[in-house]
Amino acid sequence: MNKIEIFKGNENGKSGIGIKVKDDNATLADLLAAWQPLCDDSNIYKLYGDNHFAVCKGCNTNCCNTAYVIPDIISFKKMADHKNLDHKSFISAFFDREKVKAGLLRMQPDPCVFLEENICTIYPCRSLICRFYVCTDILGTAEQLIYSLAWTGITALQVFAEENDLIDTDSKAGLSSFDLMFKKLIEEYRYKPQVKLFLAADNYEDIPLKPFLA
Ligand code: SF4
Ligand code: SF4
């Protein structure tokens, strides 16, 4: 039996993609494996996709051109390893210098520093934000689960970066209102117990979904 079911359904009068967790032992890796086919599914309506029905691979109106990506801690470590860089050098090479100085780990955008010819060059280790983003309608409960997982992982990276002197924490110079909103979100998540799960994990298999379910 699959531990996760991804379905098309309705919730409060809105239709969209939903998530059903069918096994108490399901992990974030199980959810990601079940979610991945959506990217490759040309039968679901994709708001920004070519002709609205397309696979994400090679998409011409690629969301990666404008994406605001702060990676989760697991992806961050895997991307740095993939580039054979220590964490500090990885940040210097691929993150937005101004934002890092102001304490926010945003990857270099417009287009994303890892996008080449409309293809992600670090696809197997891309972050949760990237993995979960599909430009289609998602039901509220599913959106909440995804949001909670992504921001907990991002907050864990922030804590890790602060503890290891990878970013400054005091300055707010150079931050837009958008950036400040993200910093506020990170502060909201900072003391949630689930952050420790991400801090202790090496892989998405190590993150149980149960503590994230409402
Ligand atoms: S999610 Fe991004 S890559 Fe996929 S169809 Fe939408 S805009 Fe294109
Ligand atoms: S890391 Fe990859 S998937 Fe994520 S925004 Fe960049 S190019 Fe796109």
Q: Please answer whether residues 114 and 122 qualify as being in contact, where contact means their C-beta atoms are separated by less than 8 angstroms.
A: yes
Q: How far is the CA of 121 from the centre of ligand 2 (A)?
A: 8
Give, using CA atoms, the residue closest to atom 8 of ligand 2.
Answer: 64
| N- to C-terminal Cα separation, the chain | 23
Which amino acid is located at 163 in the chain?
E
Tell me the whole-structure pTM to 2 decimals.
Answer: 0.95
88-107 pLDDT, tens digit per residue, is: 999 999 999 999 988 999 99
11-25 pLDDT, tens digit per residue, is: 988 899 999 999 999
Ligand 2 binding pocket includes 132 (Cβ within 6 Å): no
Q: Please answer whether residues 142 and 17 qualify as being in contact, where contact means their C-beta atoms are separated by less than 8 angstroms.
A: yes
Sequence-separated (6 or more) residues with CB below 8 Å from residue 182: 68, 70, 104
Q: How far is the CA of 64 from the centre of ligand 2 (A)?
A: 5
Any idea where the domains of the chain sit in the sequence? 4-212
Neighbours of 146 (CB within 10 A): 20
Ligand 1 binding pocket includes 44 (Cβ within 6 Å): no
Tokens of 168: 């400054």
Give, using CA atoms, the residue closest to atom 3 of ligand 2.
Answer: 130
pLDDT at residue 170 tops 70: no
Ligand 2 binding pocket includes 113 (Cβ within 6 Å): no
Find tokens 């707010």 and name the residue. 172
Neighbours of 122 (CB within 10 A): 18
